[in-house]
Amino acid sequence: MEGHITSVCKSTYYMIYNLRRIRKYLDQESAKTIVHACITSKLDYCNSLLYGLPESQIGRLQRVQNICARLICGTSKFSRITPVLRDLHWLPVRQRILFKILLIVYKALNGQAPSYITELLKARSYTHSHNLRSSHDNLLLQIPSHKTKITLGDRAFVCAAPKVWNNLPLVIRKSESLNTFKSRLKGHLFV
């Protein structure tokens, strides 16, 4: 994935350079729209494939997002970025990756995703006779075993998605609609 990240960073830095040259002629909303159209869309494209990558690689994409946020808001490079991202309602890159994976899982469990994705997810079955609190939660997914640790096995959708989904609070997993799920999930990931 290092080649993909390098390519994304290279193309976005070029766009940021050009946007900086015209930034003084744009208001904040126009700059935000241009950044979403040209840069954020590149950061979000297939970002669920970046799950489990080391911080050194994700950090490169985070720097691009931070530069864009500072460019839109006009803050200096020495000021803290977290309040700027909160003002823009932008999740950091690692949380954006989780958001995308969880959104796909929610859609798959509610019949809004293609069948080839839905078939990858299986509900956890309880075969024991013990009365556990988790046995009443029918929204947990089965985490399949895999042979390849630390490489692709942990990062594959079929393994990663149930792990991330099962870690969500029940109130978010039980969301009635897609919009409710998105807003609860974004609030949860902002913390």
Structural domain spans, the chain? 2-90, 96-190
Tens of pLDDT along 8-59?
999 999 999 999 999 999 999 999 999 999 999 999 998 888 998 999 999 9
Average pLDDT, the chain: 87
131 pLDDT more than 70: no
Cβ distance 44 to 100 under 8 Å?
A: yes
Residue 63: closest CA among 31, 92, 32: 92
pLDDT digits (tens, 9 = 90+) for 50-108: 998 999 999 999 999 999 999 999 998 889 999 999 999 999 999 999 999 999 999 99
